[in-house]
Chains A and B, each alone.
Chain A
Amino acid sequence: NAGVTQTPKFRILKIGQSMTLQCTQDMNHNYMYWYRQDPGMGLKLIYYSVGAGITDKGEVPNGYNVSRSTTEDFPLRLELAAPSQTSVYFCASSYARDANSPLHFGNGTRLTVT
């Protein structure tokens, strides 16, 4: 079982460049999420989706965009990369959006913007 797969694992971007972080899950989960993890700051929710075609902002959405055209895929787009977006990005999925449905995380994309 692959679970949640994220690509790429690492990326270095120059300021102003754009990129898409890919995320796919094979558990047929309706709910998918993007988090960023910074030292001393914990996991912060960027965007989430409750199903194909439906997305919503999380706690820190500025500078990011998402789309959800299929149940499996939930890409995160950075349009104009800034040093403040240097972070580790985690995609996650769950069966439902409540405490009884644990989050299943991918192994992250480590992004550096210089």
Chain B
Amino acid sequence: QKEVEQDPGPLSVPEGAIVSLNCTYSNSAFQYFMWYRQYSRKGPELLMYTYSSGNKEDGRFTAQVDKSSKYISLFIRDSQPSDSATYLCAMSQTDKLIFGTGTRLQVFP
């Protein structure tokens, strides 16, 4: 069993839709949870970062962590074509960082 599981997609949605991206994990020691966004032919860039359970909002993006279920989500409201990218979840405990495989999102006009 992989430490971090992420649906690869692709996920295709119309502009304006609410998008939900998810990851599950097996290591209960993970404490920090991140979402990276990767545009085609580019390196990943940090989108959001949360510590422990709860929600964190940044503009159209909301990151949610449920440690009891070992489940994290990234919600994108009013999705735009410019949101089309691969989204990678990442989790860490102290200095160990594990990435999910990424979910490819396509937002069409």
Q: Which residues of A line the B interface, CB within 8 A?
A: 4, 40-43, 45, 90, 92, 97-99, 102-108
Majority-rule SS of B interface residues: strand
Contact B94 A98 (CB under 8 A): yes
Majority-rule SS of A interface residues: loop
Query: Given contacts A40-B8, A42-B88, are A108 and B43 in contact (CB under 8 A)?
Result: yes
Least CB distance from B7 to A in Å reads 11
Contact B43 A107 (CB under 8 A): yes
| B95, closest chain A residue (CB) | A97
What A residues does B32 contact at CB under 8 A? Answer: 99
Number of interface residues of B (CB under 8 A): 24
What B residues does A98 contact at CB under 8 A? Answer: 92, 94-95
Question: Across the A-B interface, how many residue pairs have beta carbons closer than 8 Å?
Answer: 47
What A residues does B31 contact at CB under 8 A? Answer: 99
Closest 10 CB pairs of A and B: A105-B43, A99-B32, A102-B46, A43-B99, A42-B101, A42-B99, A99-B92, A97-B95, A107-B43, A105-B44
What B residues does A42 contact at CB under 8 A? Answer: 4, 6, 88, 99-102
Taken together as a complex, chains A and B put the C-alpha atoms of A42 and B46 apart, in Å, by 15
What B residues does A102 contact at CB under 8 A? Answer: 34, 46, 49
| B33, closest chain A residue (CB) | A99
Question: Chain B, 37-74, contact with A by CB distance < 8 Å: what is the 0/1 string?
Answer: 00001111110010100000000000000000000000
